[in-house]
Amino acid sequence: MNSFTYFRTDAVDTAVRERASEPTAKFIAGGTNLLDLMKENVEHPTHLIDITRLPLTTISDNVDGGLRLGALVTNADTAYNEQVIQRYPLLSQAILAGASPQLRNMATDGGNLLQRTRCYYFYDTATPCNKREPGSGCSALNGYNRIHAILGASNHCIATHPSDMCVALAALEAEVRVTGSNGERTIPFADFHRLPGDTPNIDNTLEPGELITAIDLPARGFPEYFQYLKLRDRASYAFALVSVAAALEMEGGTITAARIALGGVAHKPWRKPEAEAALVGKPANKENFQAAAELLLAGAQGYEHNAFKIELAKRVIVRALGQAAKLEPTA
Amino acid sequence: MNPAVETYPPDVRPPSLPPVHSVKLTVNGKDTELQISPWTTLLDALREYMDLTGTKKGCDHGQCGACTVLINGKRINSCLTLAIMQEGAQITTIEGIAPTEGNASQLHPLQKAFIEHDAFQCGYCTPGQICSAVGLMNEGKAKTTADIKELMSGNICRCGAYTNIVDAIEDVMNQKNA
Ligand SMILES: Cc1cc2nc3c(=O)[nH]c(=O)nc-3n(C[C@H](O)[C@H](O)[C@H](O)COP(=O)(O)OP(=O)(O)OC[C@H]3O[C@@H](n4cnc5c(N)ncnc54)[C@H](O)[C@@H]3O)c2cc1C
Ligand code: SF4
Ligand code: FES
Ligand code: FES
């Protein structure tokens, strides 16, 4: 790890001011991604601002009937929160599908959104990588790209966003509350992460120095018909090859609302409003799920080692929707 | 590959190192004050500065669980947190889980069960496995054998002693519920 200075505060405004005073400073929360990347010399902040003592550690009701997750609530406390389990079980399921119990006890909800890609070349400072070092090239394009994107990539970067939690938050249409030198604002989840384009070094639309204070879940939580289905190379403690967050509302056998978000396939959780709209008013059956899957994967492009993910993703979508609609067992 | 080593002309020196901090930690109920750099991980503080070498370094990247300790009763990976961030917390390591009253040679029920079930081969992962199992029992979420397996998945055993590890934990959980 590089040398850095350390600062701790229990006040949000002090943390933001401290961060603004040093452009190469970083906040540290659970530390599970930042310290890992510092040990690999991928990140080298000169100043760390410990935000774990900020009063952003509660889960509370919002006036609009939704739920507010403080940015410093741990992933474990979120997944096991009674309100989350009752009203947003999709979110609980997605969090518990990720990392390990130890990591979930450390990782925070704000930090989870800002975790960086697991692209091997991003981690390996001996290889070119546009995300780590803009303009150096992308080693994954013609390298080993099994875990890489099949949707929304560019020829500058084909990395994926590795979070499970974010896939559920995308399906639930959460909002991210942030505060910075220019005041507070709210970012809809769909606009929070971005596609790589020709600036893959930028993962999201947070302004430099902005602090995430909370994640707001809207009142609508899809507690009845939902499924987070994650496929990976081993049964647990591994990142997703492909994952699906599926949420439905149904009357009788007819779908009245649908949300589908994909993980492991793009630089951000992947949604396609057309695919969701196509399900509304239709009976919940395999044929209609298949049609939605085709729409979601429209334009998908495979690379040497990941082309299998296109067909895999379609099958996972069909199964997850079947499980959400309770047509298929979940185990 | 090593990154290029930077050299400095004699009159241009790298910025001086930040001061060493005085860090107060509470480990196994004892307060200690260490003089360490801010980048010292909790794992390194325990092993290199406090001689508490029961906690092991496997991967140093959160991928194996050998470094598992308890912070306020919750299991975490000590390789991915800074010692300085844990000031004020109750830190428990494998050296501190056995009951302290009475007979000094007492073992924690999980330690006993690991011996009875032969839940190790080389033993390198064992302190982490046991601390993780203590955390698992504190959490109270595991109800079935499958739950134990899933909720112990943050601890890798290179020797593959998994079946006996699960048996040992299940044994202690059944004793508690009996
Ligand atoms: C071995 C391993 C396996 C994993 N497996 C999975 C998995 O299967 N699925 C999954 O989803 N995740 C997985 N993870 C990733 C884990 O979920 C993330 O590392 C974690 O969520 C990051 O949260 P943190 O609080 O530790 O962030 P930190 O490491 O503290 O911070 C990450 C980044 O966010 C910034 N930051 C943190 N909080 C804020 C805030 N409030 N405002 C502004 N900036 C902030 C920091 O400056 C830093 O740049 C895994 C991690 C490891 C090490
Ligand atoms: S895919 Fe993105 S992160 Fe990976 S090497 Fe290419 S530019 Fe870097
Ligand atoms: S040494 Fe910490 S998880 Fe491996
Ligand atoms: S006993 Fe050898 S690694 Fe587990």
A254-267 pLDDT tens trace:
999 999 999 999 99
Query: Quick check: CB of B152 below 6 Å from ligand 4?
Result: no
Considering only CB atoms, B61 lies closest to which of A3, A39, A101, namely: A39
* Chain centroid to CA A137: 25
pLDDT at B3: 45
Tell me which ligand sits closest to the C-alpha of residue A48. Answer: 1
Calculate helix-pair angle for A286-296, A308-324, nearest 10 degrees.
Answer: 140
The pLDDT tens digits of the residues spanning A52-104 come to 999 999 999 999 999 999 999 999 999 999 999 999 999 999 999 999 999 99
- φ and ψ at residue B147, rounded to 5 degrees: -65, -45
The answer to whether A100 contacts B153, with C-beta atoms less than 8 Å apart, is yes
pLDDT at A331: 64
The answer to whether B76 contacts A125, with C-beta atoms less than 8 Å apart, is no
How many residues are listed for chain A in this entry?
Answer: 331
Domains of chain B: 1-96 (3.10.20.30), 105-178 (1.10.150.120)
B21 token code pair: 């901090």
d(CA A69, CA A176): 10
Sign of the alpha-carbon dihedral angle for B113, B116, B117, B121: positive
Is any Cβ of chain B less than 8 angstroms from the Cβ of A85?
A: no
Task: Report whether pLDDT(B130) > 80.
Answer: yes
Per-residue pLDDT of chain A (331 residues; tens, 9 = 90+): 889 999 999 999 999 999 999 999 999 999 999 999 999 999 999 999 999 999 999 999 999 999 999 999 999 999 999 999 999 999 999 999 999 999 999 999 999 999 999 999 999 999 999 999 999 999 999 999 999 999 999 999 999 999 999 999 999 999 999 999 999 999 999 999 999 999 999 999 999 999 999 999 999 999 999 999 999 998 889 999 999 999 999 999 999 999 999 999 999 999 999 999 999 999 999 999 999 999 999 999 999 999 999 999 999 999 999 999 999 888 6
d(CA B11, CA A30): 40
Is residue A212 within 8 A of residue A176, CB to CB? The reply is yes
Residues of A in contact with B39 (CB under 8 A): 1-4, 38
pLDDT at A83: 98
* Chain centroid to CA B28: 12
Task: Report whether pLDDT(B5) > 80.
Answer: no
pLDDT at B15: 57
Which of B1, B20, B24, B39 is the best substitution to test chain A (most A C-beta atoms within 10 A)? B39
Q: Compute the nearest-CA separation of B39 from chain A (Å).
A: 7
The answer to whether B81 contacts A125, with C-beta atoms less than 8 Å apart, is no
The pLDDT tens digits of the residues spanning B41-73 come to 999 999 999 999 999 999 999 999 999 999 999
Which of A50, A72, A73, A100 is the best substitution to test chain B (most B C-beta atoms within 10 A)? A100
Segments in chain A forming alpha helices (H): 12-20, 34-39, 75-79, 82-87, 89-96, 101-106, 109-114, 120-123, 165-171, 189-192, 273-277, 286-296, 308-324
Taking the centre of ligand 2 as the mean of its atom positions, its distance from the CA of residue A124, in whole angstroms, is: 10
Residue A143 burial (CB count, 10 A): 17
Task: Report whether pLDDT(B8) > 60.
Answer: no
Among A30-34, B7-11, B147-151, the minimum mean pLDDT is found in B7-11
The answer to whether A236 contacts B153, with C-beta atoms less than 8 Å apart, is yes
Residues of B in contact with A5 (CB under 8 A): 18, 38
pLDDT over 70, % of chain B: 88
Q: Compute the nearest-CA separation of B134 from chain A (Å).
A: 12
The answer to whether B153 contacts A237, with C-beta atoms less than 8 Å apart, is yes
pLDDT at A153: 98
pLDDT at B13: 46
Specify the DSSP class assigned to residue A60.
E
pLDDT band at B18 (very low <50, low <70, confident <90, very high): low
Predicted complex ipTM: 0.96
Domains of chain A: 5-53 (3.30.43.10), 225-324 (3.30.390.50)
Considering only CB atoms, A1 lies closest to which of B18, B39, B65, namely: B39
